[in-house]
Amino acid sequence: EAHRAIVEQGRQAFIDGHASSFLFSASSANSMRMVEWNAVLLKERGIYEEALLCAITNTRTNNHSTPLRVFRDLFAWADRAKLLSAGDPLPSTGPFTLYRGVAGKAERDRRVRGISWTGTLAKAAWFANRPGFGLPNPEVYRCVVDAKHVLAYVGSHRNEDEYVVDLPRSVKVERVALPLPEPKEAA
């Protein structure tokens, strides 16, 4: 019964053109799969780009279960102007110095040249050392990109200062030192 209600909620959200409500009818971990599986319908409904951006920025954990090639294909299929307008306005005309926190053993899990970046070193360090994950080899990487490589920007959600980037091979990505944790105040 509860499952049927959730499915009906998602169906109604799709009909009403509410991409985020459509995705929230599933768990946040499955949002990207919902976009992938319903891409044609979402595109026809005119909410594909909004759904895609919502799926990548609203997950409660991360999107490591989605292969990077799937991300690249889904974002390549998006209308770039609609995708950019689905987020917040860019904070400047660029170029942007961006950071990405990664951790883990396998290169496929680390995704140093992934598509989600932040404008703050501290936030990237938080992702590299994300509480509760305990992943080995935390590192932070930095790159500088022009505005033309930014697919979307979301600065108003969870204070992540998130940039979704189509990172060309010509952009150099370099490892930076993790910042030291802030000292705790004595009681």
Instruction: Give me the helix-helix angle, 48-57 and 68-77, nearest 10°.
Output: 150
pLDDT digits (tens, 9 = 90+) for 75-114: 999 999 999 999 999 999 989 999 999 888 876 667 888 8
pLDDT digits (tens, 9 = 90+) for 137-160: 889 999 999 999 999 999 876 677
CB 117 within 8 A of CB 143: yes
Q: What is the pLDDT of residue 70?
A: 83
Mean pLDDT over 12-31 rounds to: 71
Residue 5 in this model has a pLDDT that exceeds 80: no
Residue 66 in this model has a pLDDT that exceeds 80: no
Phi, psi of 168 (to 5 degrees): -70, 155
Residue 64 in this model has a pLDDT that exceeds 80: no
- pTM attached to this predicted model: 0.81
On the 0-12 / 13-18 / 19+ scale of CB atoms within 10 A, 68 is middle
Mean pLDDT over 37-45 rounds to: 90
C-alpha to C-alpha distances, 159 to 94, 122, 162, 168, 185, nearest whole angstrom: 19, 11, 8, 26, 24
Residue 187 in this model has a pLDDT that exceeds 60: no
